[in-house]
Structure 1
């Protein structure tokens, strides 16, 4: 790989919500996460033994605050900090007080030029003594986060050539499904072309296909809008269902996903830009699918960038050839 550090997994997603109590109850009672902390300024929820896999913050606009990726070791975190700083990006070390509250040993944050997306790299989140107990769905993990981006080529190059994500499947000019190497899951992040940068959806992977069917009926019984599916994606081979949360942000359950070995993995497939690629069963998303979710931008005090890191970057001919 072209980065000196190794990812372990997608650790958590932080969302901004307009009604913290309502959204906390929704993700607990309808989605099936467990609440580990609930206050006036933050709710922490989990679907694993971790302290959190989702953070909710009160805000005027709903959207994406940041995405947290766990690295394999403290040494990887040190290497990543020096590497990201060498890209000319401003580094924000997470304060000791915030680390204590989030039960994390060490972390830093930075923003990707263009979209302003905040990524956090961290190590060693606390594992809680009480195991996560599934309730309305057998959630296995936080699966992935998908974004719409206005400059698809620029975003793809930052994530692959600069930050070490690997393309698993590719729809030219429209979609890239990215794994955080050497994590084996088909994708922990994906980008879709759009007219502006925003959150498309957050995914939770379930362990039982019945969770898809039960989830569909649970949404219907609670007057929650289903916006896509059930269906099966061609890229990851997963069965899916999408619906809207209280702020009309899109949430997904998926069952099943292709995994990749660390070495000798198959080449990224070049997929046709047709509706059947997104759903081999033939359903299509409603107009409300993937529309709500502003990407939170840096404040003036924290947006300084060292060097000219915002200049346009294009896909190299070598990468384009590999994907074709």
Structure 2
């Protein structure tokens, strides 16, 4: 029998960077997001197919950093229940549950995870009017998942399982080099969050769901024609069964177009360990460029200077 979980879904990823204008132009003109709200040096970007007020928040700052990752809860009571649990478990809060002043309002709490990232959990955020993405329309439907680098990934995975009740879907390993990525879910999607082994704490990548394979390929082609640096793809993963094309945004963050992420049966799913020495595990289609040190290095990203420091917004 399924058990109720306090976190329901992924909401948005908030990032900061010095060259705000270049980043804003990329996400709106190239990547396909829509600005719904803005202020001086801050932009809230929605995916046309998503009811979330925004899926990416850009903020101008002298330093590049990840401000926070946000997840949803069903009710304000669930936010309070989670906060009580975190407090008892010794998790450091950024702020107590309170009304939010970001687009859509709502009620939320912020806290630091074990690596020092800021996590927000909120409820009662007003949904935005969204629409069905049409055939051949190569813009994101929603934010699919985010992946974080950690130099202590086993501890980080255990933190999210213990404190936020994420469930392990699958693990990747590279032969004798051992395990290096853990896929975590908070609903029947194979993963909304994942942790990768990296040399330092940083954003690994943010992934955006497309309408289907044709729209995924059209979006991939738009990036290639626009000479956006490709990291890896196009291909199709084995774990999660989703397509992938990875690119670098102007600030050097890796972003992904994907589609057809697997849905799992929460009551019967059993995690597996997939070995990337098998080429079909890396890419079922065999169409992507080779997974190598170049690909891995791009996704290590820069050291995040914002650990255990609350963002100003």
Aligned with 1:208 (options 190, 208, 212): 212
Equivalent residues of 1:62, 1:249 under 8 A apart:
no
Alignment of 1:166-315 (within 5 A): 166-171=167-172, 173-180=179-186, 183-262=187-266, 264-274=267-277, 276=279, 277-282=281-286, 283-285=289-291, 286-287=294-295, 289-295=298-304, 296-299=306-309
Alignment of 1:30-179 (within 5 A): 30-47=30-47, 48-93=50-95, 99-113=100-114, 115-129=115-129, 131=131, 137-171=138-172, 173-179=179-185
Structure 2: gaps (5+ residues): 174-178
Q: C-alpha separation between the residues in 2 aligned to 1:253 and 1:301?
A: 27
Relative to structure 1, is the Cα distance of residues 155 and 217 closer, same or farther in structure 2, using a 3 angstrom cutoff?
A: same
Equivalent residues of 1:147, 1:200 under 8 A apart:
yes
TM-score, structure 1 normalization:
0.83
Equivalent residues of 2:139, 2:219 under 8 A apart:
no
Relative to structure 1, is the Cα distance of residues 255 and 130 closer, same or farther in structure 2, using a 3 angstrom cutoff?
A: closer
Worse overlay, 283-292 or 201-210: 283-292
Q: C-alpha separation between the residues in 1 aligned to 2:165 and 2:227?
A: 41
Q: C-alpha separation between the residues in 2 aligned to 1:275 and 1:21?
A: 42
Relative to structure 1, is the Cα distance of residues 83 and 210 closer, same or farther in structure 2, using a 3 angstrom cutoff?
A: same
Relative to structure 1, is the Cα distance of residues 5 and 80 closer, same or farther in structure 2, using a 3 angstrom cutoff?
A: farther
Per-residue CA deviation, residues 226-281 of structure 1 (Å, 9 max, x unaligned), is 1100011010111111111111211001111111234x222001211426333233
Relative to structure 1, is the Cα distance of residues 168 and 96 closer, same or farther in structure 2, using a 3 angstrom cutoff?
A: closer
Per-residue CA deviation, residues 176-217 of structure 1 (Å, 9 max, x unaligned), is 10001xx11100111111121111100001112112221222
Relative to structure 1, is the Cα distance of residues 158 and 239 closer, same or farther in structure 2, using a 3 angstrom cutoff?
A: same
Equivalent residues of 1:10, 1:68 under 8 A apart:
yes
Alpha-carbon distance, 1:40 to partner: 2.0
User: How many residues in Structure 1 have an aligned counterpart in Structure 2?
Assistant: 296
SS at match of 1:297: coil
SS at match of 2:141: strand
How large is the RMSD of aligned CA atoms in angstroms? 2.6
Q: Which residue of 1 aligns with 2:176?
A: none
Structure 1: gaps (5+ residues): 303-324
Per-residue CA deviation, residues 264-315 of structure 1 (Å, 9 max, x unaligned), is 222001211426333233432444531325432233999xxxxxxxxxxxxx
TM-score, structure 2 normalization:
0.86
Per-residue CA deviation, residues 135-182 of structure 1 (Å, 9 max, x unaligned), is 9624221011111110121111101133211011012531110001xx
Q: C-alpha separation between the residues in 2 aligned to 1:141 and 1:93?
A: 28
Q: C-alpha separation between the residues in 2 aligned to 1:191 and 1:17?
A: 23
Alpha-carbon distance, 1:128 to partner: 2.5
Per-residue CA deviation, residues 73-122 of structure 1 (Å, 9 max, x unaligned), is 1111110010111110122337968x223322111111112x21111110
SS at match of 1:108: strand
SS at match of 1:81: helix
Equivalent residues of 2:97, 2:110 under 8 A apart:
no
Equivalent residues of 1:61, 1:294 under 8 A apart:
no
Relative to structure 1, is the Cα distance of residues 199 and 28 closer, same or farther in structure 2, using a 3 angstrom cutoff?
A: same
